[in-house]
Amino acid sequence: MRWQKYLLPSVIFLVLLVFVVYPTLSVLVKSLSVGERIGLDNYIDAFTKPQFASTIWGSLLVAAGAAVLSTVLGLIISLTVFKTTLPLRRFFSVAAVLPMIIPGFVSTLAYIFLFGRNGLITYKLLGVTWDIYSWKSVLFIQTLDFTTITFLIISAVMLGVDRQVEDAARNLGASEWEVMKTVTLPLIRPGIIGALLLVFLRSMADFGTPLILGGRFDTLASASYSQLIGTYNMGMASTLNAILLLICLVVFWFYSRVQATGSRVRLQVESGQPREIDLKRPLKATLWSVCLLFSSLVFMILVSVFLASFTRHLGADFSFTLEHFRIVPQRGWNSIMNTIVFASITSLVMSLVGLVIAYLVTRIQFKGRNLIDLLTTLPFALPGTLMGVGYILAFNHAPFLLTGTWAIVIAVTVIRELPLGLRSGVSVLGQQDRSIEDASASLGASRLSTFFRIVMPLSRPALVVSALYAFVATVQTVGAIIFVINPSNKVLSVDVFEAIYRGDVGDAAALSMVMLLLAALGVLAIFAISQRGVAQTWVHRVLTHHASAQ
């Protein structure tokens, strides 16, 4: 029966239309409307008024800077950890993954304490006063934060390079440096370019760091936040987001092209120890020092946040207190429970729906297959502020009156994580032997029971890993969620963000400790699972497809 074949795709298509396309279009329409008429006035303002025009260039430059710096760092750490026998390699790799549980806006707390105008290191130790509230700080924190992504992507690609190719080059008489230059680096190039573009996307979308550390410096994302929350200029907020969207879509287009060519390179996940590259001593020393500097910074930040949660006021009054943890059960309890519930539902729904959509687009022939794939993947490129503004515009009135319900929060988080669910679903299905499914079908099983009894059990390791990842990401997300939260469904990440924004260092630190703990549990679970055979492959696949967490 033909209609049945189209039933599920149509439902999914409608859901995507309502939760992805409609909010995005609402933003575009709003940005083009001036009062009752249609016009480009907002765009003219955005490009000519100095305060907005400068944000466009500012965001582009900082995003490019963060992309280059964190990719270089990620490459250096990957090389040191996987291609040398230098000491402290394990320490470096832990430090490189650690920012995964410390969102950028939490790092800013410790950063101000350590390097601020009255910072422990900058002022008290070195006696310098520098202008901490500027684009440089934003660049610094973003670089530190996003190096996790670049490290994971580059190391996965590096480990996947077939050792025989490198050995062949060696046998032909190439020096280690030549092997590196002519074989290894070209082979991992797709990974490097992918990392660059991904960090660029993430940096463009990050509004928390510039808001807290930028001082006068604004990015498109942070300016759109202030335009909305501060001055309630919905038109300008929409316009800035529309410009941001355009930039992100262009970058995303390049990113998906790189992904497509990258996957054609035959990669294999090796279980054995990758071979060491014998680099010259000064080079080795440089690599190692950079890793050490990076790792110390990450640990210093983590320790500072930890200390801040037990200190009356970091930077002013260093006496020990448990006062901040009093507010955790008092004010934070609801938020903690909401966070756990929302993150659990999100990860469950996201991995199941992701697999269903993946099944549809890989196994079933129907018109509009590519469109569903595209619409599901699109949120990956959508900045959080755009989705937030879009959801406010779209769901505040009939026919989709959802503002203030928990449903809208779940909708936002699921849609944000769905691209990850789809990608891991597609790649797990790509690995599965279709003949088992065919056998099930020829024995008379319906599509549905084949899906539930064959496809799902076989995909379990991948599902669990991506679900856990979505849990971690949802626990920390502020981007879109901050716009759709109301008093009855607050979450931890927004509480932390608001406390930092207000300057309540201690409360913010105490609440972040709880958030870090939740995220750490998720990450530990991922690593625990990854010790077990098949799942290990999926950890790499999922992590390298690091969805936008903020």
Partner 1 sequence: MKIRGKKGLRWASLVIAFCLLAAVLPLNACGTDEEAQVLSIYVAYGGPDIIAAEFEDATGIKVELLTMSSGEVLTRLRAEKDNPQTDVWFGGGSDAFIQAKSEDLIIAYQSPNAGNVDEAFRDEEGYWTGVSLVVVGFLVNDDRLEDKGLVLPESWIDLEDPSYHDELLASNPNTSGTAYTTVSGVLQIMGEEDGWAFLDEMYANIPFLEKSGSAPASKALAGEYAIGIVPDPHISIINNPDAPLTSVFPSDGVLAWPSPVAIVKGARHPGNAKKFVDWCLSAEGQRVLMQASPRVPTTDVDTLAGVPNLSELNLVAYDHIKWGAERERVVAEFNQRYPQFQ
Is residue 209 within 8 A of residue 104, CB to CB? The reply is yes
Judged by beta carbon, residue 86 or residue 505, the one nearer partner 1 is 505
Site string for partner 1, 223-242 (x = CB under 8 A): ---x-xxxxx-x--------
Please measure the distance between the N-terminal and C-terminal CA atoms of the chain and give it in whole angstroms.
43
Using CB under 8 A as the binding rule, the residues of this chain from 37 to 96 that contact partner 1 are 50-51
Using CB under 8 A as the binding rule, the residues of this chain from 400 to 429 that contact partner 1 are 401, 403-407
With CB under 8 A as the contact rule, the residue among 128, 131, 266, 364 that binds partner 1 is: 131
* CA dihedral sign, ordered 434, 458, 154, 202: positive
CB 131 to partner 1: min, Å:
7
CB 179 to partner 1: min, Å:
50
Chain position carrying tokens 């390179």 = 265
Alpha-carbon distance of 521 to 182, in angstroms, equals 41
Alpha-carbon distance of 399 to 395, in angstroms, equals 8
Alpha-carbon distance of 155 to 82, in angstroms, equals 8
Site string for partner 1, 431-450 (x = CB under 8 A): ---------x--xxxx-xx-
Judged by beta carbon, residue 175 or residue 446, the one nearer partner 1 is 446
Judged by beta carbon, residue 368 or residue 404, the one nearer partner 1 is 404
Using CB under 8 A as the binding rule, the residues of this chain from 164 to 223 that contact partner 1 are 211, 215-216, 218
CB 26 to partner 1: min, Å:
13
The window from 70-78, 255-263, 311-319, 512-520 that contacts partner 1 (CB under 8 A) reads 311-319
Question: Cβ neighbours of residue 221 under 8 Å, at least 6 residues apart?
Answer: 59, 204, 205, 206, 207, 210, 240, 244, 383, 384, 385
With CB under 8 A as the contact rule, the residue among 13, 22, 133, 254 that binds partner 1 is: 133
Using CB under 8 A as the binding rule, whether residue 125 contacts partner 1 is answered as no
Which amino acid appears at position 341 of this protein?
V
Buried b (16+ CB within 10 A) or exposed e, 399-413: ebebebebebbbbbb
CB 442 to partner 1: min, Å:
11
Rg of the chain over Cα atoms, rounded to whole angstroms, equals 24
Buried b (16+ CB within 10 A) or exposed e, 4-13: eeeebbeebb
Using CB under 8 A as the binding rule, whether residue 501 contacts partner 1 is answered as yes
Alpha-carbon distance of 225 to 243, in angstroms, equals 14
Site residues (vs partner 1, CB under 8 A): 50-51, 112-113, 116-118, 131-133, 211, 215-216, 218, 226, 228-232, 234, 312-317, 319, 327, 330-331, 334, 392, 396-397, 401, 403-407, 440, 443-446, 448-449, 452-453, 485-488, 490, 498, 501-505
